[in-house]
Chain A
């Protein structure tokens, strides 16, 4: 037991778990705001209003067409310079995940809403519901179910993406690992544990999602 606790694999754990808290915090907070952004822009991409459609499309294309690391640096250093402020790193990180995931979630939302049979909207309208009411009571609940698997997928992607925040010294798991092995010279053991911790979250999530997907299929 003593030997186990003192192994080079276990010793970094307190640091890594501290980092994991930030990893999860950034992921969940980022996805929360990302979902709100994605819901609006996803619906915007289905809008007949050319301005709303255009604006949503530009946002989605810009985010999807540029690397996340560039977006992170842009938000943290670029925006701080432009607006002459000192952005908190954690705020920058959550904002970056929100804006990045928001664009992908927009496509998830657009696809799911688009996949609902046109007859549903017509049936809602024909009993006298407004467009918004039909959206809210009829289209959205059905579409949301179809969003769950791809949203879970996005969760896994964003979770892994948070490792890029080590570039701006946010204390998430990879950054914690780097600072740890810089002094202990045990990068192999430390990074192995980082991967194990990631996998402990991502694999059960994937298994769960596959099960949900199968259930939605039938």
Chain B
């Protein structure tokens, strides 16, 4: 589903990604862990071209993102993204947040779009919130709306950038549950997370990133129970 080859990304003189190789298969759930500043967000953002790739190749769903002729918007609508700070549209109701994409990009009518959105709201447990504005929701509810908004475009891959890091601890569980359900339904997911419990339980594979490269990768069992790389060991001893 996603093939990344020798991906480099620099901001001016600062090289943040220093040659990333990764493959993400269909229906696979891959967690990315690593210290802050190691380039996890940048890596994720390169997968839907929120950051311009400096060099290397990124193929998503068979299309080469570094090809200058590519239709970026069409790629993006196939790659859902969930942000740490939700980024809901505050001037629109919850329902409108979700229907906007289907209406503007898939040219659905309002009722068609609502027929897509309402089941998604139910899925994330927020059917009763359709008509309210994001400001009146808790962080956990906002994040679940954001997930529904991304799902409304029927993406083939979902990218999550620390989806629970901005949440109060008691609200994390609901969001993780939604993500777990998605994983079980066979959604391809790339999840940057500090929730080691989630990584252990849900992920098929864990990538450990440090200083702009993937230092180590393997099954959750391998990474958490028997890390080979010194940096991985050091990182895990701090967070576990």
Q: Residues of A with Cβ closer than 8 Å to B? A: 117, 119-120, 122-130, 133, 137-138, 141-142, 145
Q: Which of B38-52 contact A (CB under 8 A)?
A: 48, 50
Once the chains are docked, how many angstroms separate the CA of A125 from the CA of B89? 12
Q: CB within 8 A of A122: which of B73, B78, B83? A: B83
Q: CB within 8 A of A129: which of B48, B73, B83? A: B73
B105 neighbours in A (Cβ, 8 Å): 127-129
Known: A127-B150, A128-B73. A137 touches B87 (CB 8 A): no
B76 neighbours in A (Cβ, 8 Å): 125-128
- The minimal Cβ–Cβ distance linking B76 to chain A, given in whole angstroms, is 5
Contact, CB under 8 Å: B50 / A122: yes
Contact, CB under 8 Å: B85 / A119: yes
How many B residues touch the partner, as a band? 20 to 34
- The residue on B at minimum CB distance from A129 is B104
Contact, CB under 8 Å: B74 / A128: yes
- Among A117, A120, A126, A133, the one with the most B-chain Cβ atoms within 10 Å of its Cβ is A126
Q: Residues of B with Cβ closer than 8 Å to A? A: 48, 50, 73-74, 76-81, 83, 85, 87-91, 100-101, 104-105, 146, 149-150, 152-153
Contact, CB under 8 Å: B88 / A129: no
Once the chains are docked, how many angstroms separate the CA of A125 from the CA of B52? 13
A141 neighbours in B (Cβ, 8 Å): 91
Contact, CB under 8 Å: B104 / A126: no
- The residue on B at minimum CB distance from A142 is B91
- The minimal Cβ–Cβ distance linking B178 to chain A, given in whole angstroms, is 18
Contact, CB under 8 Å: B83 / A123: yes
Contact, CB under 8 Å: B87 / A142: no
Once the chains are docked, how many angstroms separate the CA of A124 from the CA of B91? 13
Contact, CB under 8 Å: A126 / B80: yes
Q: CB within 8 A of A137: which of B79, B104, B150, B152? A: B104
Once the chains are docked, how many angstroms separate the CA of A124 from the CA of B76? 10
Write 12 A-B pairs (CB below 8 A) sorted by A numbering: A120-B87, A122-B81, A122-B83, A123-B81, A123-B146, A124-B89, A125-B73, A126-B48, A126-B150, A127-B149, A128-B74, A145-B91
Once the chains are docked, how many angstroms separate the CA of A201 from the CA of B83? 47
